[in-house]
Chain A
Amino acid sequence: DAGVIQSPRHEVTEMGQEVTLRCKPISGHDYLFWYRQTMMRGLELLIYFNNNVPIDDSGMPEDRFSAKMPNASFSTLKIQPSEPRDSAVYFCASSFRWEKQFFGPGTRLTVL
């Protein structure tokens, strides 16, 4: 298995633009997590899905952020409009049940 796949690996955009981050979890995993990591705030859980259904989105910072999981093999995290304070590394992770999360390589987002 190729592991959790995230794209793009790097994204540089200007304030106000829409940003879409993508994630392909490991086949057979029933949980998918989106995290954001910055030096100031550490690793934050944004949202997680169970069997494609969003369970807890309390970590989503504001309405500018949205996440979807249309099927078991794909999820997106969208920021619209983006702001400089959204600059961070965004990680996607998946797991079977609540055990052993596998993390993707992350997407480094820079909003100018």
Chain B
Amino acid sequence: SQQGEEDPQALSIQEGENATMNCSYKTSINNLQWYRQNSGRGLVHLILIRSNEREKHSGRLRVTLDTSKKSSSLLITASRAADTASYFCATPGDMRFGAGTRLTVKP
């Protein structure tokens, strides 16, 4: 079974709103990665957070990591229609992906 599990499975918001999705994992990690997949395309790496980091920013993305709870969250601020995609988390040593969070941003 996969290491990373995302929730919610689906999220629908209006353009301009923030979107938060979560990831839980099972074992100790060195880092955790978030990916985006647009329909029919390969996954694209968004951001990597290391186990000694608690928060990391990249543009409109903010990722947090709580190693005590074995969980991570991805926040997309001021969402745009172009953010509509599926989002996945993954950890080294077990590059199996969960079902992802399907985000729909309505214009």
Interface contacts (Cβ under 8 Å), in number, total 51
Q: A93-B42, A101-B95, A103-B43 are in contact. List 11 more A-B contacts (CB 8 A).
A: A35-B97, A42-B98, A42-B99, A43-B97, A91-B42, A98-B92, A99-B48, A99-B92, A100-B48, A101-B35, A104-B42
Number of B residues near A (Cβ < 8 Å) is: 21
Return the contact of B44 from the options A48, A59, A103 (Cβ within 8 A).
A103
Query: Which B positions have Cβ atoms within 8 angstroms of A?
Result: 30-31, 33, 35, 40-45, 48, 88, 90, 92-93, 95-100
Return the contact of A101 from the options B30, B31, B45, B98 (Cβ within 8 A).
B45
Nearest 3 interchain pairs by C-beta: A103-B42, A98-B92, A43-B97
Q: Contact check, A99 vs B33: say whether CB atoms are below 8 A apart.
A: yes
B53 to chain A, nearest CB (A): 14
